[in-house]
Every structure is written in C-alpha cells, then in structure tokens.
Amino acid sequence: MSDTAKTVRFAAILLLFLSLFSCRGGKEDVTIGLSTESLVHDYWIRMKESIISEADLYSMNVINYTTTESSDEKQIEDIRRAIDDRVDYLIIGAYANSESIAPWLKRAKEEGIRIIAVGMRLLDPSVDVNIHIDENYASAQVASLFKDYFQENGISDGAVIMITGDEDDPNAHDRISGLVDILNLMNIAPLVYFSKNWETALSEKQALRMVEKDPGRIKGLFGGSALATISIAHILEKYPLPVLAVGFDLNDEIKKEVTDGTIYGVIYQNPEGIGRKAVDTIQALEKGERVEPTIISDTIVLTKENIEGY
C-alpha cells in the first residue's frame, strides 16, 4: 500500500472515530462534583441517588462531596475540593447563605467549571443553570386541596394552622401564599407559624397551644416542609380533629402518616426528577445544545391513592 493510500485510510478511520464520538454528545470522562445541603434529609438523599444513576447512563463520573454535615463552611470546602479535583461541572444544592459561597462559585467558574444549582435557586452570576420547583405553583396546589375540601364540607369560617420555614426565607412565604389568598377569600383565618432555620420544635408548640385553646376553630393544618409535616402529624396525634391536613415533602415517616390517613396528602418536590434534569442538562451542554438558565421541575400531589410508588 502506498504512503498516500495509507494516509487516506488513516484519515478515514480518524473521521469515523470522531463521528462516533460526536454522536455520543460530548467528551469522554466528564466529571461532576456534587455538593448539597446534607445527607440527613431524605430529599437530598433521593436527589443524590438519582444524579448518580442518571450520570451512569451517560458514562459520567460523579464525585460526591456531601456528608451529613450542614454548614456554609462545609459547602465552601466542597467547592474548594471540586476545584482541586478539576471537575467539569458542579451540581450544588446551596445550604443557606449563598453570599458566603459566592466568591468560591466565582473562583470555580474562573477555573472553567460550569455550575448547576438544584433545589434552592441561586441568584448568582456564576451559576449557569438553576433547576428548582415553582413555589407559587406548589402553593396553588395546596390552595386547591383546601378550597375543594372546604366547599365540599360547607366550611366558611374558622382557621387553618400553617407551619412553615424561616420568616426571612422567601420560600417559606411562597409556600403559603396561595393558601393564604384562598383563606382570606373564604373568610377563614390563616394562622402562620414561622420556624427559624426551618426547625419546627418551637412553632409546633405554639401551634399546639392554639389548638388546645380552641380546637373547634381549627379547620385545617398545613406543614410547609418535611419537619413541619411531621409537626402537624404530632398535633393531630394529640388532638385527632376532623380536619384536612396537607404537608410538603416525603420520607418514610410522612408516607406512613399519609397511608394511615392522618395526613391527607403532600406536595412532593420530586428530587429524583430534579436530579435527572441536572444530569440531562449537563449532557445537553456537552452536546453544545442551548439550555435555558432556569428549568422548572414539576411538583406532584401525593395521597394514599398514589403514594405507594414513591
């Protein structure tokens, strides 16, 4: 075979290889760093597992930096390690204070790391894509459940207890906004108990005192987080009122409360879906596709009729 023929054959083989590689949609050995709030809450555990599973489908590597520790300092250390490990992407579920991690997100960006924020929206210029639920839509789902219940049962007075998160957290307000609007239209009083750092022990006691004072006035309870949902279940265990109880998020304890009928239903944030969307977004970026800076993940209403598969 002549040198020219060899050259042509080699070029053809090279082009075929590049074509096959291009069809895969990205470079080999894509590495994703993962840092979320903690692996204490079921929400983050489910998301982590879905990210690892979805990444495996695309032959991507995942380095998980998340542990059971939750603090700004821990998340800063996670970002430092991601930079040192020279990951291609960082999926981050911010702990709380995005301002404290902002300089490190900027440094990661400068090192060429693309950043995908999940769960909590990060309004930071270093973030490439935010993937989260629509809090207002989730609130409307809650409001619809209460509205239907009150209309079906002819309820036009009384009060609804709502245990939600930190008063300074916009999410804590968004999760109750739709319900508050509906209650005001129906002449039913919203009794809101905020929980500092989303820890509900104190707000649970405050709500319980209200129930003890006038149990007949209470027509419903809403918990705006997993802990808050467990709190309203505790209240109903002490005072089994004939009311509608709706929660937010899901774990084994909450699933049992729904199955037993103590809690009518919950708004499920679907962390598995968010995790899959994060990895699918990375795959799209690897293929050079245009990706929206904000991607909304749907919430799901779960009751005893459909909760078994979750």
Tokens of 27: 């470079």
Residue linked to tokens 């599973």: 53
pLDDT at 4: 55
For the chain, the structural domain boundaries read 3-127, 135-268
Q: Please check the confidence at residue 25 and state whether its pLDDT lies above 60.
A: no
pLDDT (tens digit, 9 = 90+) per residue, 203-225?
999 999 999 999 999 999 999 99
Ramachandran angles phi, psi of 141, nearest 5° = -60, -45
Domain 135-268 in the same topology as domain 3-127:
yes
pLDDT (tens digit, 9 = 90+) per residue, 195-204?
988 889 999 9
Mean pLDDT of 101-125: 93
Average pLDDT along the chain: 90
pLDDT at 71: 84
Q: Please check the confidence at residue 123 and state whether its pLDDT lies above 50.
A: yes
Q: How far is CA 215 from the centre of its chain?
A: 34
pLDDT (tens digit, 9 = 90+) per residue, 31-54?
999 999 888 889 999 999 999 999
pLDDT (tens digit, 9 = 90+) per residue, 164-197?
998 988 888 999 999 999 999 999 999 999 998 8
Q: Quick check: 65 and 274 in contact, CB under 8 A?
A: no
pLDDT-derived band at 122, boundaries 50, 70, 90: confident
What count of other Cβ atoms lies within 10 Å of the Cβ of residue 173?
A: 19
Half-sphere exposure of 132 (CA within 13 A, CB side): 20
pLDDT at 18: 44
> Could you give the CA distance from residue 131 to residue 89 in angstroms, rounded to a whole number?
14
pLDDT (tens digit, 9 = 90+) per residue, 49-80?
999 999 999 999 999 999 988 788 999 999 99
Tokens of 106: 């900027």
Q: At residue 58, what is the residue type?
A: Y
pLDDT (tens digit, 9 = 90+) per residue, 126-173?
999 999 999 999 999 999 999 999 999 999 999 999 999 989 888 889
- Percent of the residues in the chain that have a pLDDT greater than 90, as a whole number: 78
> Which helix (H) or strand (E) covers residue 284, if one does?
helix 271-286
pLDDT at 24: 39
Half-sphere exposure of 200 (CA within 13 A, CB side): 24
pLDDT at 94: 81
pLDDT at 1: 55
Q: How far is CA 89 from the centre of its chain?
A: 19
Domain 135-268: assigned CATH number: 3.40.50.2300
pLDDT-derived band at 2, boundaries 50, 70, 90: low
Residue linked to tokens 């790391």: 113
Instruction: Report the topology of domain 3-127.
Output: Rossmann fold (3.40.50)
